[in-house]
């Protein structure tokens, strides 16, 4: 099954297609997960519940991940450690994502590209999140906050909102830097977040990285460069906006 990840879609693959939208997956279980998460009425879903708190999920694996992340003694966890820096993760795919994002040369990466605009990313999950930008708002399943009028296209963004705005600081699980006293509410910053004044642990860690080891994002219009792509975008809009305007006669 794993080898399907490396197979060229143009080769003969038996796709499992959704009868309600244009989704398709390489494995039947992916289609089942999609159907449960996107098209099934919440009242008909068999929820998997955590026996240590009120967390519940549509997928059994999600509950297992939750228990490891929130309730397991760190000393009993099998950590997946990066051989190039001090990063470590509870799940291997998180380590793989970290290596791709921070230690892999851009020329060696198979970029995930949007077929509707020029957006591209190293992570397929980020592309899936980005695609919501092109989706008609009336077709989006919104996740609404029970304490205010906030709503989000992604469940994780609703969780971040609740944690940032409505949760008591004493109840928050902080992510701490192993090099200094910095701590953050988030380990990673969502690619589509607009909370530009906030940061996460992974962004902070760039402060401790040797300049020679950083993949810089350079401005094509001046000598500015940044460690984060979003900072380059912000710079371009703020400084070079007039030069970017496409004039129409």
> What gap in Å lies between CA 195 and CA 236, rounded to an integer?
18
A 10 A CB-CB count for 134 gives: 11
Supply the range of the domain harboring residue 23. Answer: 1-41
> What gap in Å lies between CA 216 and CA 3, rounded to an integer?
33
Residues 198 and 145 in one domain: yes
Residue-level pLDDT at 190? 44
The encoded tokens of residue 55 equal 């967390």
Is the residue at 194 inside a domain? yes
What is the pTM (predicted TM-score) of this model? 0.40
CA-based max dimension of the chain: 67
| Helix boundaries (H) for the chain | 28-34, 60-70, 92-102, 124-130, 155-161, 201-204, 229-244
Q: Indicate the burial class of 160 (C-beta count within 10 angstroms; 0-12, 13-18, 19 or more).
A: buried
**pLDDT of 165-191, one tens digit each?**
887 777 767 777 777 888 876 665 544
Residues 200 and 226 in one domain: no
Total domains present in the chain = 3
Residue ranges of the chain with pLDDT lower than 70?
A: 1-13, 40, 42-43, 172, 185-199, 209-214, 242-249
Is the residue at 157 inside a domain? yes
Helix, strand, or coil (residue 80): strand
Domain closes at, from 41, 56, 73: 41
Round the average pLDDT of the chain to a whole number and report it.
75
Full DSSP string of 186-239: -SS--TT---TT---HHHHGGGGS-GGGS--EE-SSSS-EESSHHHHHHHHHHH
Residue-level pLDDT at 130? 84
Residue-level pLDDT at 158? 85
Is the residue at 79 inside a domain? no
Is the residue at 34 inside a domain? yes
Residue-level pLDDT at 60? 84
Is the residue at 134 inside a domain? no
Is the residue at 117 inside a domain? no
Is the residue at 120 inside a domain? no
Is the residue at 187 inside a domain? yes
């Amino acid at each position: 099954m794993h080898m399907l990840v490396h197979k060229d879609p143009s080769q003969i693959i038996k796709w499992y297609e959704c009868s309600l939208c244009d989704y398709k997956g390489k494995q039947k279980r992916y289609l089942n997960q999609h159907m449960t998460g996107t098209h099934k009425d919440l009242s008909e879903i068999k929820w998997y519940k955590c026996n240590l708190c009120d967390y519940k999920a549509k997928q059994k694996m999600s509950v297992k991940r939750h228990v490891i992340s929130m309730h397991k003694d760190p000393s009993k966890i099998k950590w997946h450690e990066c051989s190039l820096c001090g990063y470590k993760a509870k799940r291997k795919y998180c380590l793989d994502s970290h290596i791709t994002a921070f230690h892999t040369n851009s020329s060696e990466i198979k970029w995930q590209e949007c077929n509707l605009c020029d957006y591209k990313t190293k992570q397929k999950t980020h592309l899936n999140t980005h695609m919501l930008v092109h989706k008609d708002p009336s077709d989006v399943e919104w996740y609404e906050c029970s304490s205010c009028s906030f709503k989000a296209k992604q469940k994780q963004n609703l969780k971040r909102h609740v944690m940032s705005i409505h949760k008591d600081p004493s109840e928050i699980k902080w992510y701490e830097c192993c090099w200094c006293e910095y701590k953050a509410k988030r380990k990673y910053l969502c690619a589509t977040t607009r909370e530009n004044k906030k940061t996460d642990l992974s962004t902070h860690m760039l402060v401790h990285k040797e300049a020679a080891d950083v993949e810089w994002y350079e401005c094509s219009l001046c000598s500015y460069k940044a460690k984060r792509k979003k900072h380059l975008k912000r710079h371009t809009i703020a400084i070079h906006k007039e030069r970017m305007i496409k004039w129409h006669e």
